Amino acid sequence: MYCSPQGRIGELKVLKLGQVADAYQSSSSILADDFKTSPTFGYQAILFPPLQRRALTFFLDRVRPSLEAAHPELLRPDSHLFASSRNPNRIADTSRHMAKFFQRALGNSFSYPNSSNYVAYNLKIFQASTQTVPCFAP
Amino acid sequence: MTEDRRIPVDINTAVDAVIRELDRLEGLGKDELARSGIDLYS
């Protein structure tokens, strides 16, 4: 049994639309299969606590439909969940959007200039938003 | 070496900011949401 509070939050941004259904069937995690050690380990959990579930539901219900209307190919299960509105074949630069949000919400002195800080910070946020720690057998 | 000027932010403060933003966005109508500038680009 492998229990981890980590769970590759950064992999959220590379999820495909078709993987979202799996997320809603789970109580606490999504299985990712697109990361550098996936050839060895196959799948790894991404934390999916209540606050993240709420944000993703809002995105799917209220934000993504406008992108889908402009780019019908985004209705395909293999389309990027967070596709760029300028080029749906590309993944949106979510780390930059997150940085801009927190700089606006918490002050311009707040910054994390690289992706590892983005991942670490979001992991802390998601951990803080739930007491659930995913446990799964590899 | 570049000086690290980041200021630690209490994690609960960050979580509260996310919750406040979701509260705000979920309360917007369709037109207001469209005008809110939510746009994912790369």
DSSP annotation string for B5-28: ------HHHHHHHHHHHHHHHHTS
Question: Does the beta-carbon distance from A86 to B33 stay under 8 Å?
Answer: no
State if pTM tops 0.80. Answer: no
Average pLDDT over residues A28-33: 70
Q: Which residue positions in chain B have pLDDT lower than 50?
A: none
Question: Does the beta-carbon distance from B42 to A92 stay under 8 Å?
Answer: yes
Question: Does the beta-carbon distance from A67 to B12 stay under 8 Å?
Answer: no
Render pLDDT for A103-115 as a digit per residue (tens, 0 to 9).
788 775 555 444 4
Render pLDDT for A65-77 as a digit per residue (tens, 0 to 9).
988 999 999 999 9
| Alpha carbon of B27: minimum distance to chain A alpha carbons (Å) | 11
> Which residue of chain A has the CA closest to B13?
A106
- How far apart are alpha carbons A16 and A65 in whole angstroms? 15
- How far apart are alpha carbons A35 and A9 in whole angstroms? 11
Tokens at A72, concatenated? 């019908």
> Which residue of chain B has the CA closest to A112?
B6
